[in-house]
Amino acid sequence: MVVVAHREMGGTLSGESTVAGVLWAATLLLAPVLLAALSRRFAVYSLVSTRKPLVPPRALLRLSALATPLALHGLFEFGAYNDCIDRLAPSSHTLRVLLAIAPLYLAELPRSAMATMAEGLLEARYDARDTHPVSPSLLPGWRDIWPAFRLRLGWPVLAFLPAVLLGGCLDVLQLHRPSYVLVFVTSSGMTVATVAFLILAAVVLPFWFRVAFGVSRAMPEPVGTTLRATAQLLGFSPKRVFMLPTGMRSMNAMMVGPLPVGRLLCLTDGLLSTLDSRSLTGVLAHEVGHARMGHPGLLMLLAVVVPLMLLSPLRLLDVEKIDVTLQAAGMLVIVLVVWLSLRTLARRFEHEADVSSVKDLGAEPCSRALLTVSSMTAPQSRTLRGRLLSLHPDEQLRLTVMRRYEMEPAFREQFDRQTRRLRRLIAVVLLGAVTFGGWFWQADWQYERVLSRFYSGDLVGAQQAMSEIDERPPRWQDALEHIDEELLAGLQLAPEARDWAAIEAQLIPSAWERGERVLLAEGPAAARPWFSLAIYAMPVPTTTEYAIHDYCRAAADNDSELTNRLAHIIKRLGVPASLEPVFRDY
C-alpha cells in the first residue's frame, strides 16, 4: 500500500533525487532486519540464560513488521525514490514496477527469515517450562524453521507475478497509443482495462499459486485416493486436488482461483494428518461447494467490479475541494461499510458451502471435521479480533445450521429461499452499479473525447470535439483550459495533424525550440503549453527537460515556492546554454 500510494500520489519533483540521498534513505531498509535480528538475539538470550531480556522479543517482532512500511515511506519521501525510478526506467512500465517493489522485497525477505527464526525460538521458550537453561545446541536452527519460512515466503512470491504482469500489460498497451490513451484519460477505458487485467490475473493465479507455495499432488494414502474419488464424485477434477506443505503448522483448506479456469483445491499437510478420511471428504465437499455456488466469482464482482463502477461518479462530488480531514473520515466510513458488508456476505457463503456439503454427503463429515479442528485450535470467532475480522461464522452456529438443514424441511426451504433472494439482490446491486457508472461515462464522454483525441495526436479531431462542448462543469475547468492552450499551440505547428506519427514528426524538435523562445521572451507561464507539447511528443525526455517543463507549469500555477525549488534542481542538473539567462538569478 505504501509503494502504490507513493507511485500514484507521490509528489516527487523531476530531478530531485541524488545518489547520496537515495543511498542514505536506503539505509532505513536495514531497520526491519535489525529489529528482527535483535528479537532473535534476545530470544536466544532468554533460553540460554533463563533471564528476561531488556525488551520483550515479541515487542521487537511487532516493531520490525511495522518498520517495513515506515522504511519504505522514508525511502520515497526523503530519498525521492519516485524520481529515481522514473530516471532509471523512463519508458518501461515493467522495469518501473520492478524498481518500485525491489526495496520492499529487499527489506521484507530477510526480515521475514529472521522473524521466523525468532518465532521458532519463542515457541521453544514456551515449551521449556522449567527454569533450567537450554543448551545452544538444542535450539532450533534454519533447517528446523525452513517449512515455516517457506510457507511465509509464498506470499511475496505470489504477489510478484501480478505486479510484473501489470507492467507487462502496460508495456504492450503503449505499443498502440490510441488504446493506451483511452485507458489512461477516460473513466470507461480505465475501468474496462482494470476488469480485463483482473480476469487475466485470476486465470494465471492458480497456476502461479502452485509455484509460490510449492503444492504437491502427493498425499498420504489411502487418504489421497479417497479424496480424489470424492472429488470425481462431486464433479471436481481429481487432478486439481493438492497438498499444501506447511511443516504441520496449519490446518486449513482453500479453493484457489475465482474463475473455473485452472481452479485448484488445496488441503494443508496439518489438516491431512489430523483428520480421518470421512472428515476430510466433508472438508473437500465444503470447498467444492464454494465453487459450485459461485462464491469466488461473486466476491470478485462485489469487492472489485462494483467499487470500480462507483468510483468514477465520485468525481461529481468534487472530492478534491473537500477538507482533507473530512476526506479521510469519509474514506474510513466507506471502507468500514464495504468491509462489514463483505464480511457478512462471506459468512453467509460459508453457511452455503456447509449446506452444499450436507446435500452431497450429509451433515456428519463436515461437522466432524469442524469439531475436530475447533477442539485443537483456538476458534477465532470467540475472540474480539475474530468477531471483527474473521470471515467465518461461529463454529457452533455452523454446526447448528448443518444439522437443521439436514433434519428440518421447513428450515431447509427457508435457507434455500434466502439463497435465491441473495442472488437476486447481488444481481440488482451489480446492475445498479453498472448502470450508474455507465451513465457517468456517457455524461463525461464529451469532455474525455477531447483528451483522448488530443493525446492520440488527432489535433483536428480534438478541436472539433472542443467546439461541440456547450458548458464546462467546474471539475473540468482546469483540464480543458490547459488543453485549450496546448491545442492552440499544437495547431500552429501541425495544423493538419490526425495521428500520432504525424504529430511526432512535426513537433520534434520544433515544439521545444518554440518553448525556449517563448520562455526567453515572455516567461515560463507562457512557455508551458509549448514544453507540454514537446514532452508529449518526445519518445524519452531527459530529466532536465522534465524539470524545465515542471518549472513552467509551477509558474503558470503561480506556485512561487515550487518554481524556486525546480529552478535550483535545474541548475544542479545543468542548465542548457540557450536558457542561461532564465536561471542566472536563482
Cα 88–545–579 angle (5° rounding)?
145
Q: What is the pLDDT of residue 315?
A: 65
Residue 145: exposed, middle, or buried by beta-carbon count in 10 A (0-12, 13-18, 19+)? buried
Q: What is the pLDDT of residue 206?
A: 92
Grid cell 483482473 in the structure block, residue: 198
Q: What is the pLDDT of residue 227?
A: 93
One-letter amino acid at 471 equals E
Distances (CA, A) of 549 to 87, 521, 535, 559: 15, 16, 8, 14
Cα 149–154–391 angle (5° rounding)?
105
- Cis omega before residue 296 (within 30°)? no
pTM of the model: 0.87
Per-residue pLDDT of the chain (586 residues; tens, 9 = 90+): 899 989 887 778 898 999 999 999 999 999 999 999 999 988 888 888 777 888 888 999 999 999 999 999 999 999 999 999 999 998 899 999 999 999 999 999 999 999 999 888 887 665 445 556 776 767 777 888 888 899 999 999 999 999 999 999 999 999 998 999 999 999 899 999 999 999 999 999 999 999 999 999 999 989 999 999 999 999 999 999 999 998 888 889 999 988 888 899 999 999 999 999 999 999 999 999 999 999 988 988 888 888 888 877 766 666 666 666 776 777 788 788 888 888 889 999 999 999 999 999 999 999 998 888 887 765 555 555 656 677 788 888 999 999 999 999 999 999 999 999 999 999 999 999 999 888 888 888 999 999 999 999 899 999 999 999 888 888 888 888 989 999 999 999 888 888 888 888 888 889 999 999 999 999 999 999 999 999 988 888 999 999 999 999 999 999 999 999 999 999 999 999 999 999 888 8
For the chain, give the longest Cα–Cα distance.
Answer: 90
- Ramachandran assignment for 214, one of left (phi > 0), alpha (psi -120 to 50 degrees), beta (any other): left
Q: What is the pLDDT of residue 64?
A: 95
Domain ranges of the chain: 2-159, 197-275, 508-583
- Residue among 344, 342, 339, 356 at smallest CA distance from 299: 342
- Residue among 274, 266, 268 at smallest CA distance from 374: 274
Give residues with Cβ within 8 angstroms of 166, minimum separation 6.
93, 97, 197
How far apart, in whole angstroms, are the C-alpha atoms of residue 291 and residue 260? 8
